[in-house]
Amino acid sequence: MSVLITGGVSKISVKLAEELLKNGRNVVLLHNNSSESIPDALLSNSSFSLINLSSVNEDGVKEVIETKKIQTVFDGSLTTSDVSLEPIQGAKKLILGITSVLDAIRKSKSPPSLVLISGEEVYGSSVNRVETQPLEPVTFVGSAQMSVEAMVHSYAVSYRIPIVVGRLPRVIVSSKNELESELKNLKDLEYVNIMETSDAVRGLLSIEKLAQTQKPAEVFNIANSQEFRVANFSESRNSTLSISKILSETAWKPSDLSTLPSKSQENSKEIKPVFLLFGGDSELKTQFFELVKLERFVVKESSIYNFQEAKSFEGDCFTLRTNMATNLYFPWLLASLSEKNSLHFTHFGNTAISQETSSFSVKGYTGKMLEYFENTLRLGTKIDKNTLGLIKGRKTGGLLNNNI
């Protein structure tokens, strides 16, 4: 039985993958261009696949569902750092992402069920946090969660996709060190619901089979039965986040936080970016290869070779056509594909229009055209120590001198 985890890498999606593998299931995790770390034991498991694929790539997600024979999709986008983005950026990633996942599911030959991982911030400042409570988010995070839940519910009703929603607490930790760090950042709260990561994952697995078309996008709170005082962790009270529904319909129960280990013992490996390089042979290309290899990143050269590179782009109308195809149309096509698939694209060329040569003139206009692509970084025609940092950081905009 195969499972797909969409939305990117987070401590929840990683722990979920580990638990699913323990249960004898095959797991595919889409890491969405993330630079987060993955435990070595997970990467070395033959039943685990890590794919660099954005959730907004509907065709790609659909292909994974069909080729890997996925039976359940867990969407963890609301557990990643994307949930904290500004509203416009967040909407593009989260809403477009979940919509693409839902469309990929419904268009698949054998549509899988979906478990959406959401959070308690959807309740806002409401004291009575029951699943049937009207949602009144007061933060960007809560609004993002509510928006994604609304989209999921509409698909569940319209297309009869079996979906279930699990709402987790704001604070989820794996160790005492992590707990102490979280508490330092919560001075604005008096009490907070805190849950151990493995408890949260067990809760999500317990509601997986409750995804039914008869009860579209049914919601379950998955939380600790107690809330803890931020100023004094030893003090607690009954949780305002009701878990009576999940306790009555599943065998899941939260565990005691006293069993938390002092610190995480897992050895993890950072996900390194893979670079796909286009363009004809040049000194700049050679320098980039050398820079990337020094950092031990994976770099692959495109199999597209017919760039019609010329020593000089000065000449007649046919030479101008070659100039336009090589220096304008092709970079624009790459930027368009990168934008569609949520990939980062770097273009080395002119960031200002120059009449010095025909080539510089066309490249200057290319730079102006690429300004409209949000995932594109436009750099000058040189490689320096800052270049790799800009690309790894997914910086965008135009920088003539490659300064960060």
User: Structural domain boundaries of the chain?
Assistant: 2-270, 303-376
Predicted pLDDT at 270: 74
Residue 79, pLDDT above cutoff 90: yes
More confident position, 226 or 341: 226
Lowest model confidence (mean pLDDT) among 1-15, 40-54, 290-304, 341-355? 341-355
Q: What is the pLDDT of residues 267-276, one digit of tens each?
A: 777 777 788 8
Residue 402, pLDDT above cutoff 60: no
Predicted pLDDT at 404: 40
Predicted pLDDT at 145: 95
Q: What is the pLDDT of residues 309-325, one digit of tens each?
A: 555 677 777 788 888 88
Calculate Rg over the CA atoms of the chain. Answer: 24
CA 323 to chain centre: 37
Residue 329, pLDDT above cutoff 50: yes
What mean pLDDT do residues 381-397 have? 82
CATH number 3.40.50.2300 is the correct assignment for the domain at 2-270: no
Residue 257, pLDDT above cutoff 80: yes
CB 109 within 8 A of CB 207: no
Distance, in Å, from the CA atom of 14 to the CA atom of 20, rounded to the nearest integer, reads 10
Residue 307, pLDDT above cutoff 70: no
Q: What is the 3-state secondary structure (H, E, C) of the chain?
A: CEEEEECCCCHHHHHHHHHHHHCCCEEEEECCCCCCEEEHHHHCCCCEEEECCCCCCHHHHHHHHHHCCEEEEEECHHHCHHHHCCHHHHHHHHHHHHHHHHHHHHHCCCCCEEEEEEEHHHHCCCCCECCCCCCCCCCHHHHHHHHHHHHHHHHHHHHCCCEEEEEECCEEECCHHHHHHHHHCCCCCCEEEEEEHHHHHHHHHHHHHHCECCCCCEEEECCCCEEEECCCCCCEEECCECCHHHHHHCCCCCCCHHHCCCCCCCCEEECCCEEEECCCCCHHHHHHHHHHHHCCCEEEECCCCCCCCCCCCCCCHHHHHHHHHHHHHHHHHHHHHHHHCCCCEEEECCCCCCCCCHHHHHHHHHHHHHHHCCCEEEECCCCCCCHHHHHHCCCCEEECCCCC
Both tokens assigned to 234:
């030893």
Q: What is the pLDDT of residues 180-215, one digit of tens each?
A: 888 888 878 899 999 999 999 999 999 999 998 889
Predicted pLDDT at 305: 60
Q: What is the pLDDT of residues 213-256, one digit of tens each?
A: 889 999 999 999 999 999 888 899 999 999 999 999 999 999 88
Amino acid at 86: E
User: Confidence band (pLDDT; 50, 70, 90) for 374?
Assistant: confident
- Percentage of residues in the chain with pLDDT exceeding 90? 51
Q: What is the pLDDT of residues 118-131, one digit of tens each?
A: 999 999 988 889 99
Predicted pLDDT at 244: 96
Q: What is the pLDDT of residues 139-151, one digit of tens each?
A: 999 999 999 999 9
What mean pLDDT do residues 78-85 have? 88
CB 53 within 8 A of CB 29: no
